[in-house]
Each structure stands twice: as C-alpha cells, then as structure tokens.
Amino acid sequence: MDNDSEALLHVDGLELTLGRKHLLAPASFTLHAGRCVALTGPNGSGKTTLLRIVTGKLQPTAGTFRWDGVKNTDLSLALGSTPFYENMTVQEHLGLVAASWSLEESAARPLVEGFGMEPILDSFIEELSSGERQLVSLSLALLRPAKVLILDEPEQRLDTRRRQVLATLLNKQRELGAAVLMASHDTELVEAVADTVLQL
Ligand SMILES: Nc1ncnc2c1ncn2[C@@H]1O[C@H](COP(=O)(O)OP(=O)(O)OP(=O)(O)O)[C@@H](O)[C@H]1O
C-alpha cells in the first residue's frame, strides 16, 4: 500500500477544551483510502471525542478537519449506538441493510460465518448477549458499502477468536479500498490492522 493513496480525511490540530478541561488534546493525522488509523490511549484521553468531532456530532474548540470526496453516506459508523429494531430478528436486520444497499442477500454470509452468528440469526436483539449484539452491530457496519469505516472500540465484548476474525474482516475491507478509523484498547487488533497509531 503506498503513501500516495487518496487522502480522504485531513485532521489538523483538532482540539476540544471545556473550561480548563481537555477533552481532546491537539491531534493531527491524515487518513488515506485503503489504510487504517488507530486511536489509542488511556480511558478519557479523547478517542471517542475525536470520532464524534469528525462525524459532525461535536464541535471542536480549535483545529480543523476536512473530508475530501467523502459524503456522509460514504461513512459507515459503529460508535456504540446502533439503532436496532425491537421486532426484527438478526437475519432481518442484515436483510434490511442488504436491501437498502441493493446487495445480494448472500452478501452477509462471510460475516455470519466468520463471526459464527448462525445460531442467533432468528433471535430478536433483546434476546442477545452484549457480545452478540456487538457482533450484529459490527456486521451491519461492515456489510454496507463504505469509503470509510469509523469504529469505536470494535473489540469490545468480543472473545479472542472473534477479535481475530474482526481483524481479518477489517483488512479485507482495506484491501477493497476502504479506510478505517478506529479507537481501540486492543494492541493485537491495532497491530494487525493499523498503519498509523495515534496515541492520545
Ligand atoms: N459530555 C461530556 N461533558 C464533559 N466531559 C465529557 C463529556 N463526554 C466526555 N467527556 C470527557 O472527555 C474526556 C474524553 O472522553 P472520551 O470519551 O473521548 O475518551 P476515550 O479516550 O474515548 O475513553 P475510553 O477509552 O474510556 O472510551 C474524558 O475526560 C471525559 O470525562
């Protein structure tokens, strides 16, 4: 992967301060197509804050960010607040996303098989464990076509095997040209997927 791949996001000195409290100390990086920037750092260091700023959910107090050739609909987000439908099964959620993006129904198969979701396909969301819910959330984010995947601690609540599957799936997305911007506490996931690690 070369350094000349298309720059999709430029972040320059992005900062958020409330009173005397730094929610995010100045951060700068560039995210390229087919590459992954991982945000690391201790609890409260500003990883989620940065993701929220670049997705337009929070205003920075200093610095700038610019998306190049990326529309809102090109972003696929898994920021821990996936809106699920109470009265729809896992299979129906996957089917809805596939239909919305004019994908074959079979498009979800690699995710279902990789994450081992066959036993929960007919379950309603409220019947799932927190880890299973996380798998569904990630699957919905990975299923739809996207130029950029934005993930907040995607490893949360996943067992070791599924974290490895997640790394493989994210690298596949990168090979297809998607950029990945993720916050993570998982050093193995970061090592497996990230080209650039930004320690906050
Ligand atoms: N709504 C809010 N009002 C005031 N401060 C906030 C608010 N949300 C977050 N913060 C503070 O902003 C700082 C950065 O929080 P953030 O959630 O971005 O950290 P993080 O790096 O994602 O942490 P973690 O690894 O625990 O998820 C923390 O000190 C937090 O207490």
What tens digit of pLDDT does each residue of 4-38 get?
A: 689 999 999 999 999 989 999 999 999 999 999 99
Query: In the structure encoding, which two tokens stand for residue 55, read together?
Result: 């997705």
The pLDDT assigned to 58 comes to: 95
CA of 38 to the centre of ligand 1 (A): 17
Residue identifier of the C-alpha nearest atom 19 of ligand 1: 44
Lowest mean pLDDT among 15-24, 80-89, 151-160: 80-89
Give the Å distance between the CA of 109 and the centre of ligand 1.
36
Q: What is the pLDDT of residues 99-142, one digit of tens each?
A: 999 999 889 999 999 999 999 999 999 999 999 999 999 999 99
pTM > 0.90: yes
Per-residue pLDDT, 1? 45
The chain-wide mean pLDDT, for the chain, equals 95
Q: Distance, CA 12 to ligand 1 centroid (Å)?
A: 20
- Percentage of residues in the chain having pLDDT higher than 90: 92
pLDDT score for 4: 66
CA–CA separation, 178 vs 156, rounded Å? 22
Residues with Cβ within 8 Å of 19's Cβ and at least 6 positions away in sequence, in order, are none
ipTM of the complex: 0.96
CA 183 / ligand 1 centre spacing (Å) = 13
pLDDT at residue 81, as a whole number: 80
Q: Is 48 in the pocket of ligand 1 (CB under 6 A)?
A: yes
Q: Which of 15, 16, 49 to mutate to test the pocket of ligand 1 (most atoms within 8 A of CB)?
A: 49
Residues 6+ apart with CB under 8 A from 42: none
pLDDT band at 3 (very low <50, low <70, confident <90, very high): low
**Pseudo-torsion of CA 149, 150, 156, 160, nearest 10°?**
30
What distance in Å separates the CA atoms of residue 179 and residue 156, rounded to the nearest whole number? 20
Mean pLDDT for the stretch of residues 37-63: 96
